[in-house]
Amino acid sequence: FLSIVAEFCCGFFVILILGNFWFLAVLYLLWLYLDWETPCAGGRRSQWVRGWTVWKYFREYFPIHLIKTSELNPNHNYLLGFHPHGVLVAGAFGNFCTDPPFKNLFPGLTPYLHIMPIWFGCPFFREYIMSAGMVSASKESVSHVLSNKGGGHASVIVIGGAEESLNAHPGSLTLNILNRKGFIKMALKHGAHLVPVFSFGENELFKQVANPKGSWLRNVQEKLQKIMGFALPLFHARGVFQYSFGLIPYRQPINTVVGSPIPVKQNLNPTTEEIDQLHALYLQKLKKLFEEHKSNYGIPAHKSLIFE
């Protein structure tokens, strides 16, 4: 969905340049230059955009639900680790970039969904995604959000990143997380409490062309991901009037479960050992969250998370 909107925005910008409105394009480029750092400085959210009626229908299509398991004190800042990435990250968008799901369950907290910086280079599109509460996934951006002295900020980071989308097959429970410890270091530096979040159903929205590790397709996808910064999963789902083929996601429920916070004491210069220790605790809490709720969402008892 975001890719389609981005392509439309870029196309509109090209029309401005080639048409009789080139001066508007020049003015926008000037604005882009002056506003370039905003995605790393908390963005520019709009409660009006976040409350559009279309998002209500978007959430109801699957449907998308946000499940609270513990209170999050708004006097603290939090770093929410979202799993899994899936193809669309629909649960993250529906729950953290639209109102009122998160707002109603966690009053006093403002969520910021961190996404790849490349998206903020797209003309006009950047204005839309910032208005929804999305900000850059750069270290500078995460630090800005978690540095709020009064608390009340929640950084939402899709830990597995683009690489994990290549594992987004129905039934897959593989998470790319063993070597991802930057978010742990960031939480320690800012004393932000860690909160594991698991979105049941995220991998069920699309069927992806078989791409087992070691296959030629997977090798090409991984090379492209390293070059471009984002992955290109080959997926399909349903059409508008038929259910056999298309790019519209299947209507599968998405239940995003927010776990209990892991208290983190601020440590401006954490050692490797301290980072590894907190990372191991996070994995333990994430696995526990999954095990406690999997039976509620159709996951067989013998299946567990796989960490890579």
First-last CA distance in the chain: 28
DSSP class of 229: S
Residue-range domains of the chain with CATH? 1-35 (no CATH), 39-307 (3.40.1130)
Mean pLDDT (the chain) is 92
pLDDT digit string (tens) for 33-73?
999 999 999 999 999 999 999 999 999 999 999 999 999 99
| pLDDT (0 to 100) of residue 29 | 85
| pLDDT of 1 strictly over 70 | no
Please give the model's pTM, rounded to 2 decimal places.
0.92
**Angle (deg, nearest 10), helices 2-18 and 22-34:** 130
Once rounded to an integer, what is the mean pLDDT over residues 22-31? 81
Place of tokens 């954490």: 270
| pLDDT (0 to 100) of residue 27 | 87
Concatenated DSSP letters of 87-147:
TT-HHHHHHHSSTTHHHHHSTT-EEEEEE-GGGGGSTTHHHHHHHTTEEE-SHHHHHHHHT
